[in-house]
Structure 1
């Protein structure tokens, strides 16, 4: 009952899914549909065969046959199953299931030869006109005579008998009257030719009854093998290039023959894969060139096979028919083609992802063939490699000669990233190297060493076009060096002694230099001569790096004087720009000085005017021409500005301290203040001098000299830019301005900034009488005793009336700490705290970074600091 209920529920769902109406609206139609469904789904006593199980069982049999090396049995079964599947039948699964149940160890008991008995006999061919004419030709003598319509007439009996007439002579090709006899144009047929032809068709012969094989001659096997290698259908080999087991050579061992034919069939299968690959052409020019090279070698291979066929078909001399000799000849002939087929099979899945993978594989295989002394493989693959390389050189040649890129050319490793970029960043931003996964260059691996030079050559041409010098200064391009097998490896038969990779790189560098030198030399000459690169770097050195100390000092003092006036307009950019142009014009010509611009980040307040940190708001700019901006990039200008600010801060400290003369300190009445002031002035001046000497003499001058020496030998803008970036990075690092030295730099600024409170405090000092100062302090001693200086009396009187007098008398004998004394002492204490931190930090980073200049600066700070104690 449960089964019936389940079937009823499923029947209802089936009817609901098919009928798209409400059962309550049309109960009669719904009931009728349900009855029809029940009749179709009523239970049977015997279940039908499951066709899916039958199909799965046959698939398992096919796999079992192939595992047991019975591919012939599996192929026969598969072919017949496919033929059955094409014929619709209701009872086919049941019949197949019955056959499966009746089968008994099919792998052992089945013989594929028995299937030939089931093949229907070949029907007799239809009668053709050729066969009719063969037995009754048109050349019969009687067919051309006139018909005697009265031959059977009764009137012939009444006529007298005719006398015999002599027979005419046999006809010639042309009679005297000019008529032609057709029988003279016919060639006699050799009756045995047809028999010989039928005898040569061994595939129509019947198998020998004793062993079920068809005997063939060795010549027939050789011809079938050559046909198979040429891609033609044969009887000895199946369509998948497997050897037919129904044929044998009577005079040889079957296993030996099958082994030779199997090796030849493997060769034919590999060659067939090449033909099959060529039937699927690609749209990429690089791959098309490779396909053309493979097609050309395949044609040459077919021509070689044709010559082998000619040897056996029309032999010039007596030839020994030997299948073993053919095997050796084909193996030697096919070795390069088999290596090429292996390469194609390896690169075929990767061509869509990497369209020049065949160039890399060919390059590696050529090098491998040279190392393994495979002469034929080396020459064969190297010629293919250089043919394919010519197509890859076309966009490279176009880029290096004209600075142009192909439209949407994904195979070339250079592409235009920002066509609208400014001319000042043309070299670095407009064109980019195409890179793939793991930041790897999208180019053949053997071209990566020269990729940067190729990239720079094209950019140089584009640069010259922007300058309008591409056609005026570039000379005519000389004849391009050859880049083929003969030019790289030579025309000798033997292998070259040098490795193929080195020979190729040398030839390729020569090819690149023929195009690189033209553009790079012209551009280099323009940058150095017309744009005055070295002079611009000298100008930067004068403006930013204090190359001329007196001029820089004059500019700094002019700024400091405006700061000390106390006006809020001391950092007005127009006034500072005119000031800078007037002062720096002593070293720079008018065209260079007019490029100077001074800016200020924000307005300064009076409270910050004395601090050295306010100088970081003053920025010095220089208007560079756009060709030079591709070398001195915008990212390097802030580093110049940091060094410029650091030098200004050193000069500011020295400037504030020089305003305090030793004479003014000597006039101080308090000896302790006078001694402390001398000490602070000497230590701060020493610090400013040490830092300024370190920056200009130890850092800037050697770095600039090294940079200038290397810059004069630079070949292109890329190298010039790299030299300059290394130069400013070295300046930033050694000048304590890099990120890792930021704490030390802050401590340095704090040390330099101590000059500001010292200068302000000294300005408030005068000739003050120590007694009057002590008296003023005594009046406030009761209220400020604990906050200024705690006092402990040596004697305590019991008389409360004399307590205050005794306390004042005791304090009059102790040193009194004035406000100036406290400030100067704090400055000296802060100096003593920061200086060891700076020296310890310099030694620490010097040991880690192996920078000797930091150790030198630390030694000088410690030595001078010790003398200043």
Structure 2
């Protein structure tokens, strides 16, 4: 408990020494400061520096120097460390740790030759007797000669002669020994001046007597008032330094004025002096933050200017050049006018004094508001005073902004700047979005002055653009062609005379935008040009449209047919990603070019069970290798959306691919005739649906949206806007293609209709195979016998075996039939009849299509998307006279 009490007492002393005001004057600010200090001191133990960590750091530096072929620097460091080891001092680890913290790229900035400048000069050799004798030889007789130390020297004679002179004169440079008497410098005391001073202060002596009131002149009151306003102790005004209060003494009066009038006048001037005194006491403290230090220095500068005006007033009354009337009222009017801006400033300081401990730029916001208020109230002197003070304090806050926008550097542990480095080790591919973030406070508000919030994103993006250019290696050329920074002060923003007509906030915003534009435009323009011309942003987006979105229908069809043929072959390695990657590069190489095609990668996921449904195509996905610079725009999270769109297009092509394999010649052989018409009808309806869906996706959704995105992308100013445009582009594609989460119901309906093509194809193939290969009479429902029954019995999967022909005649017949007989179709043990399959397909199609149309119209009205209305209208054409509907 004693330890806690001691720590609490020391904490109170620390807080009072820093904040510089009495806790009784502002309990709330004092309590808040104490909470901050207690929270900061409590978890810290302030241990000594770990000497082993310091030693390991220097060993790492030695190894780094030698790896980078700086053996000279490593040898110099090693020799000095060995020399330090011979010195016994307990604080050597702290000294070395401090040097490590102060080091700045030693490999680039250090030169071993500079160490010679620190080497002390070689001392001259010691003087030997041989050298002395050589210059001034001596004899033995001179060594043993006696010296008379009592004899007077010539110097004593000169000194005694000077003392005998009646009128001493100061020594001159002509004197040989340059010796003079100090008493000649003393001036005689003029007692007359001292008597005049005592006589002038006679009213002070009378004040100590028992008389209740002492009469004084206005000149004496003016003199005391000027001293008090300058911060000096006086007799006419009583001050209490602890509370910072000043009041007029009631022991003095004017002989020609009423006492109440005198007391009221002294009270008004004392109030002015009290505000000035508190302002002086606030500036006497020393802040640790540069922003607050600048503010304090600016206030001291204005107090010094005010003191100069007071000195001028004192001179007017002390040594007037012309005859003037001594008037205490006139002095009051003059002082009130001079001190009015400072008194407003004193109120502002008192209001934000406690807040500055938490918000170091609170004074900037308060000054900005005071400037606007003074402009609205037409107080020109107050407006000019606060405007100049605001811009003077703003220059310090602009330094980290300028450093960030020009060099892309952040100050070490600069809590006052609203940008900080979140993850210095982040990959270059996510540098723009992850490495730097905005500093935010309570309520997710930006930790920056309110008047800078509209420009915060431009400042943030400019610095990131500079860092981006440094990563690309082109920043040096940008720095050499920088624009001249416009001035940002009172004259350039508000003019040199009078109050401006436009609001100060608008004038400042315009001037600050111009200041930012001088740094923002160049960096963003160079970066945009680099991304478009050398990084190939537009070309990559075009490649994505071709690869994922089927912009080149022929190439996409070739790739899709290749995949479909491998699926229908029922081979074990049909989805081998290496083989599919080579096939995709070969197909797209003629469209994209060899260099771009080599970036294509096909990925596949193995499924536990095989499926004939179209959702099995989702196990295949295309990928494209992007450079890190473009991955900051086309982010990793965007690739899955491209893959979803590619899969949907592939499923649409697959549906049409299966329907086209049902040839009209094969349908003509069906018995009875009712099956022929119904099969033709369903085939035509599903082909029509697949074509409508493919046309909607490629022409209406992808084509128009991609064109609009490219047009906006060329006008984007920075990577942030480019990345947002790309994300909005993908979100719009995902929504219009019914892939959004809130449209999942309609997407499932579309997939259900597309899967009907698979059912129709499989049913037709089974019917054709049953006619060509009728089952034995004793087992009419079993599939044809496999060529290898033993291997079929050993199958553990639920996937049925592949039916293979046994005789050559059947093989020849199948070869003549071409793709009509698909031997790769799995044959389940029991199948529904063709009639049942056709009825099921027709029932599902007739049921879900109106539901899909109505759903599209409903979401089109809610989301105001005309493309959904267009798709719904095209789907309703089925009932407006098509032949297959009536057939």
Q: Calculate the TM-score normalised by the size of structure 1.
A: 0.71
Aligned residue for 2:568?
Answer: 564
Quick check: 1:250 aligned with 2:255?
Answer: yes
The residue correspondences of 1:152-191 to structure 2 (distance < 5 A) are 189-190=191-192
> How big is each residue's C-alpha offset from its partner over 1:537-568, in whole Å with a ceiling of 9 and x where there is no partner?
10000000110111111111111111111112
Query: Whole-Å Cα distance in 1 between the matches of residues 380 and 267 of structure 2?
Result: 27
Aligned residue for 1:522?
Answer: 526
Aligned residue for 2:228?
Answer: 228
Aligned residue for 1:302?
Answer: 307
Q: Secondary structure at the match of 2:238?
A: coil
Query: Whole-Å Cα distance in 1 between the matches of residues 584 and 842 of structure 2?
Result: 36
Aligned residue for 1:452?
Answer: 457
The residue correspondences of 1:470-481 to structure 2 (distance < 5 A) are 470-472=475-477, 474-481=479-486
Query: Whole-Å Cα distance in 2 between the matches of residues 594 and 435 of structure 1?
Result: 44
Aligned residue for 2:268?
Answer: 263
Quick check: 1:598 aligned with 2:599?
Answer: no
> How big is each residue's C-alpha offset from its partner over 1:145-173, in whole Å with a ceiling of 9 and x where there is no partner?
xxxxxxxxxxxxxxxxxxxxxxxxxxxxx
Q: Secondary structure at the match of 1:419?
A: coil
Question: In structure 1, which of residues 535, 540, 553 is the aligned counterpart of residue 539 of structure 2?
Answer: 535
1:862 Cα deviation from its structure 2 partner: 2.0
Aligned residue for 1:332?
Answer: 337
Aligned residue for 1:350?
Answer: 355
Aligned residue for 1:670?
Answer: 672
Q: Secondary structure at the match of 2:248?
A: coil
Cα 1:768–1:199 change in 2 (3 A) is closer
Aligned residue for 1:685?
Answer: 687
Query: Whole-Å Cα distance in 2 between the matches of residues 666 and 832 of structure 1?
Result: 24
Quick check: 1:660 aligned with 2:662?
Answer: yes
Query: Whole-Å Cα distance in 1 between the matches of residues 655 and 728 of structure 2?
Result: 30
Query: Whole-Å Cα distance in 2 between the matches of residues 845 and 372 of structure 1?
Result: 55
Asked whether the 8 Å contact 2:697–2:737 carries over to 1, the reply is: yes
Query: Whole-Å Cα distance in 1 between the matches of residues 207 and 515 of structure 2?
Result: 67
Query: Whole-Å Cα distance in 2 between the matches of residues 730 and 818 of structure 1?
Result: 42
Cα 1:467–1:213 change in 2 (3 A) is same
Query: Whole-Å Cα distance in 1 between the matches of residues 486 and 286 of structure 2?
Result: 32
Q: Secondary structure at the match of 2:437?
A: strand
> How big is each residue's C-alpha offset from its partner over 1:214-265, in whole Å with a ceiling of 9 and x where there is no partner?
2222222222221211111111211121121222222112222222211111
The residue correspondences of 1:10-89 to structure 2 (distance < 5 A) are none
Quick check: 1:822 aligned with 2:836?
Answer: yes
Q: Secondary structure at the match of 1:238?
A: strand
1:206 Cα deviation from its structure 2 partner: 5.0
1:195 Cα deviation from its structure 2 partner: 7.1
Q: Secondary structure at the match of 2:602?
A: strand
Cα 1:178–1:604 change in 2 (3 A) is closer
Larger radius of gyration: 1
> How big is each residue's C-alpha offset from its partner over 1:810-858, in whole Å with a ceiling of 9 and x where there is no partner?
xxxxxxx982212211111111222222222222221111111111111
Cα RMSD between the aligned structures? Answer: 2.8
> How big is each residue's C-alpha offset from its partner over 1:520-543, in whole Å with a ceiling of 9 and x where there is no partner?
222111111111111111000000
> How big is each residue's C-alpha offset from its partner over 1:471-514, in whole Å with a ceiling of 9 and x where there is no partner?
145434343221111221222x2112222222222221221122
1:188 Cα deviation from its structure 2 partner: 7.1
Query: Whole-Å Cα distance in 2 between the matches of residues 349 and 188 of structure 1?
Result: 53
Asked whether the 8 Å contact 2:478–2:522 carries over to 1, the reply is: no
Query: Whole-Å Cα distance in 1 between the matches of residues 561 and 853 of structure 2?
Result: 29
Aligned residue for 1:194?
Answer: 195
> How big is each residue's C-alpha offset from its partner over 1:632-654, in whole Å with a ceiling of 9 and x where there is no partner?
11111111111000000100100
Q: Secondary structure at the match of 1:619?
A: strand
Query: Whole-Å Cα distance in 1 between the matches of residues 769 and 446 of structure 2?
Result: 77
Query: Whole-Å Cα distance in 1 between the matches of residues 720 and 545 of structure 2?
Result: 22
Question: In structure 2, which of residues 850, 857, 863 is the aligned counterpart of residue 836 of structure 1?
Answer: 850
Query: Whole-Å Cα distance in 2 between the matches of residues 839 and 633 of structure 1?
Result: 35
Aligned residue for 1:849?
Answer: 863
> How big is each residue's C-alpha offset from its partner over 1:580-639, in whole Å with a ceiling of 9 and x where there is no partner?
11111121110000000000022474x41x321111111100001111111111111111
Query: Whole-Å Cα distance in 2 between the matches of residues 828 and 462 of structure 1?
Result: 62
Quick check: 1:237 aligned with 2:241?
Answer: no
1:289 Cα deviation from its structure 2 partner: 0.4
Asked whether the 8 Å contact 2:478–2:523 carries over to 1, the reply is: no
1:328 Cα deviation from its structure 2 partner: 0.8
Query: Whole-Å Cα distance in 2 between the matches of residues 350 and 435 of structure 1?
Result: 17
> How big is each residue's C-alpha offset from its partner over 1:768-797, in whole Å with a ceiling of 9 and x where there is no partner?
99xx99x99999xxxxxxxxxxxxxxxxxx
Quick check: 1:468 aligned with 2:477?
Answer: no
The residue correspondences of 1:326-405 to structure 2 (distance < 5 A) are 326-405=331-410
Query: Whole-Å Cα distance in 1 between the matches of residues 219 and 479 of structure 2?
Result: 68
Asked whether the 8 Å contact 1:597–1:622 carries over to 2, the reply is: yes
Aligned residue for 2:109?
Answer: none
Asked whether the 8 Å contact 1:668–1:767 carries over to 2, the reply is: no
Query: Whole-Å Cα distance in 2 between the matches of residues 199 and 508 of structure 1?
Result: 57
Asked whether the 8 Å contact 1:668–1:768 carries over to 2, the reply is: no
1:755 Cα deviation from its structure 2 partner: 1.0
> How big is each residue's C-alpha offset from its partner over 1:63-93, in whole Å with a ceiling of 9 and x where there is no partner?
xxxxxxxxxxxxxxxxxxxxxxxxxxxxxxx
Aligned residue for 1:213?
Answer: 213
Cα 1:194–1:473 change in 2 (3 A) is closer
Query: Whole-Å Cα distance in 2 between the matches of residues 283 and 818 of structure 1?
Result: 87
1:194 Cα deviation from its structure 2 partner: 2.8
Asked whether the 8 Å contact 1:228–1:241 carries over to 2, the reply is: no
Asked whether the 8 Å contact 1:669–1:767 carries over to 2, the reply is: no
Q: Secondary structure at the match of 2:621?
A: strand
> How big is each residue's C-alpha offset from its partner over 1:104-151, in whole Å with a ceiling of 9 and x where there is no partner?
xxxxxxxxxxxxxxxxxxxxxxxxxxxxxxxxxxxxxxxxxxxxxxxx
Question: In structure 2, which of residues 551, 557, 562 is the aligned counterpart of residue 553 of structure 1?
Answer: 557
1:207 Cα deviation from its structure 2 partner: 8.2
Cα 1:696–1:249 change in 2 (3 A) is same
1:200 Cα deviation from its structure 2 partner: 3.2
Quick check: 1:864 aligned with 2:864?
Answer: no
Asked whether the 8 Å contact 1:568–1:604 carries over to 2, the reply is: no
1:196 Cα deviation from its structure 2 partner: 7.1
The residue correspondences of 1:793-832 to structure 2 (distance < 5 A) are 819-832=833-846
Asked whether the 8 Å contact 1:669–1:768 carries over to 2, the reply is: no
Aligned residues: 649
Cα 1:848–1:201 change in 2 (3 A) is farther
Query: Whole-Å Cα distance in 2 between the matches of residues 651 and 745 of structure 1?
Result: 16
Q: Secondary structure at the match of 2:623?
A: strand
Query: Whole-Å Cα distance in 2 between the matches of residues 474 and 585 of structure 1?
Result: 40
Asked whether the 8 Å contact 1:207–1:213 carries over to 2, the reply is: no
Quick check: 1:724 aligned with 2:726?
Answer: yes
Aligned residue for 2:766?
Answer: 764
Query: Whole-Å Cα distance in 1 between the matches of residues 843 and 460 of structure 2?
Result: 59
Query: Whole-Å Cα distance in 1 between the matches of residues 678 and 402 of structure 2?
Result: 76
Query: Whole-Å Cα distance in 1 between the matches of residues 768 and 653 of structure 2?
Result: 26
Aligned residue for 1:277?
Answer: 282
Query: Whole-Å Cα distance in 1 between the matches of residues 272 and 644 of structure 2?
Result: 73
Query: Whole-Å Cα distance in 1 between the matches of residues 267 and 279 of structure 2?
Result: 19
Query: Whole-Å Cα distance in 2 between the matches of residues 188 and 531 of structure 1?
Result: 90
1:452 Cα deviation from its structure 2 partner: 1.1
1:329 Cα deviation from its structure 2 partner: 0.5
Cα 1:389–1:600 change in 2 (3 A) is same
Cα 1:763–1:318 change in 2 (3 A) is same
Query: Whole-Å Cα distance in 1 between the matches of residues 832 and 864 of structure 2?
Result: 47
Asked whether the 8 Å contact 2:207–2:251 carries over to 1, the reply is: no
Aligned residue for 2:516?
Answer: 512
Aligned residue for 2:414?
Answer: 409
- Unmatched 5+ stretches in structure 2: 1-163, 170-182, 240-244, 782-830
1:212 Cα deviation from its structure 2 partner: 2.8
Aligned residue for 1:143?
Answer: none
Cα 1:346–1:178 change in 2 (3 A) is closer
Cα 1:621–1:818 change in 2 (3 A) is closer
